[in-house]
Structure 1
Amino acid sequence: MSQPHDPPTKLFTRDFLLAAVANLFISMVFYLLMTSMALYAVDRFQASDSAAGLASSAFVIGSVVARLFAGKMLQVMGRKRLAVLALGLFALSSVFYLLSSTLLLLLIVRLVHGMAFGMANTAIATAVQSLIPQARRSEGTGYFGLSTTLSTAVGPFLAVLLAGSGNYTSVFVFCTIFSASALLFTLLVRMPEPQRPTHLSTAHARRGSFIRSIISPAALPISLVILVCGIAYSGIISFLAPFLISKSMTEAASWFFMVYAVTVLLSRLFAGRIQDRRGDNAIMYPLLVVFALGMAALAFDPSSLTVASAAALTGFGFGALMPCAQAIAVSSVPPAELGVATSTFFLMLDVGIGFGPVALGLLIPHLGYTGMFGSLAVLAVLGIVLYFQVHGRHARGNRPGAI
Structure 2
Amino acid sequence: MKTGCRYAPPGAALAGVAAATGLPGRPAEPERPLGMVAGLRNPALTRPAVVFAGVALASGIVVTFLPSVLTDAPASLIALGLLAQAVTAPLTRWWAGRYTDRHPFAPLLGCGVFVAASGVAILAVTGHPVAFVIGMLLFGAGFGVAQNASLTSMLRQVSPAGYGTVSAVWNLAYDAGIGLGAVGFGLVAAGTGYPAALAITVLVMLSALAALPRSGRLNPHTR
TM-score normalised according to structure 2 size: 0.76
Is 1:223 the counterpart of 2:83 in the alignment? Answer: no
Is 1:268 the counterpart of 2:93 in the alignment? Answer: yes
CA distance in 2, matches of 1:312, 1:301: 15
Assess if the C-alpha contact under 8 Å between 1:291 and 1:316 holds in 2: yes
Kindly provide the amino acid, as one letter, of the partner of residue 48 in structure 2: I
- Who is 1:48 aligned against? none
Is 1:369 the counterpart of 2:194 in the alignment? Answer: yes
Q: Which has the higher contact order (CA 8 A, sep 6+)?
A: 2
Q: 1:91-113 deviations in whole A, cap 9, x for unaligned?
A: xxxxxxxxxxxxxxxxxxxxxxx
Sort the Cα spacing of 1:210 and 1:290 in 2 relative to 1 into closer, same or farther, 3 A. Answer: closer
Assess if the C-alpha contact under 8 Å between 2:51 and 2:208 holds in 1: yes
CA distance in 2, matches of 1:340, 1:352: 18
Assess if the C-alpha contact under 8 Å between 1:274 and 1:283 holds in 2: no
- Who is 2:80 aligned against? 255
Q: How far apart are residue 273 of structure 1 and its match?
A: 2.2
What's the secondary structure of 2:125's corresponding residue? coil
Is 1:378 the counterpart of 2:199 in the alignment? Answer: no
Assess if the C-alpha contact under 8 Å between 1:229 and 1:379 holds in 2: no
Sort the Cα spacing of 1:294 and 1:250 in 2 relative to 1 into closer, same or farther, 3 A. Answer: same
- Who is 1:302 aligned against? 127
Is 1:332 the counterpart of 2:167 in the alignment? Answer: no
Q: How far apart are residue 312 of structure 1 and its match?
A: 0.7
Kindly provide the amino acid, as one letter, of the partner of residue 101 in structure 2: D
> 1:2-401 to 2 correspondence within 5 Å?
195=30, 197=32, 211-212=37-38, 215=40, 217=42, 218-244=44-70, 246-387=71-212, 391=213, 393-396=214-217, 400=223
Assess if the C-alpha contact under 8 Å between 1:274 and 1:282 holds in 2: no
Assess if the C-alpha contact under 8 Å between 1:289 and 1:384 holds in 2: no
Q: How far apart are residue 248 of structure 1 and its match?
A: 3.3
Structure with the largest fraction of helix: 1
Task: Name the count of aligned residue pairs.
Answer: 192
Q: How far apart are residue 262 of structure 1 and its match?
A: 2.4
Q: 1:243-273 deviations in whole A, cap 9, x for unaligned?
A: 12x1233221111121112222432342222
Q: 1:306-351 deviations in whole A, cap 9, x for unaligned?
A: 2111111011101221122101111111111111111011111111
Q: How far apart are residue 395 of structure 1 and its match?
A: 1.4
CA distance in 2, matches of 1:285, 1:343: 22
Sort the Cα spacing of 1:299 and 1:210 in 2 relative to 1 into closer, same or farther, 3 A. Answer: closer
Assess if the C-alpha contact under 8 Å between 1:216 and 1:344 holds in 2: no
Unaligned residue ranges in structure 1 (runs of 5+): 1-12, 15-193, 199-204
Assess if the C-alpha contact under 8 Å between 2:112 and 2:142 holds in 1: yes
Q: What is the identity percentage for the equivalent residue pairs of Structure 1 and Structure 2? A: 23
- Who is 2:5 aligned against? none
Sort the Cα spacing of 1:363 and 1:326 in 2 relative to 1 into closer, same or farther, 3 A. Answer: same
Q: How far apart are residue 210 of structure 1 and its match?
A: 6.9
Computed over aligned residues only, the root mean square deviation of the Cα atoms, in angstroms, reads: 2.6
What's the secondary structure of 2:119's corresponding residue? helix
Assess if the C-alpha contact under 8 Å between 2:108 and 2:145 holds in 1: no
TM-score normalised according to structure 1 size: 0.44
Q: How far apart are residue 216 of structure 1 and its match?
A: 5.8
Unaligned residue ranges in structure 2 (runs of 5+): 1-12, 15-28
Assess if the C-alpha contact under 8 Å between 1:229 and 1:352 holds in 2: yes
Q: 1:190-230 deviations in whole A, cap 9, x for unaligned?
A: xxxx95529xxxxxx9xxx6733x73624122111112222
CA distance in 2, matches of 1:226, 1:269: 17
CA distance in 2, matches of 1:280, 1:256: 32
CA distance in 2, matches of 1:379, 1:223: 14
- Who is 2:9 aligned against? none
Kindly provide the amino acid, as one letter, of the partner of residue 233 in structure 1: S
Q: How far apart are residue 290 of structure 1 and its match?
A: 0.7
What's the secondary structure of 2:124's corresponding residue? coil
Kindly provide the amino acid, as one letter, of the partner of residue 227 in structure 1: A
Sort the Cα spacing of 1:326 and 1:221 in 2 relative to 1 into closer, same or farther, 3 A. Answer: same
Kindly provide the amino acid, as one letter, of the partner of residue 395 in structure 1: G
Kindly provide the amino acid, as one letter, of the partner of residue 383 in structure 1: A
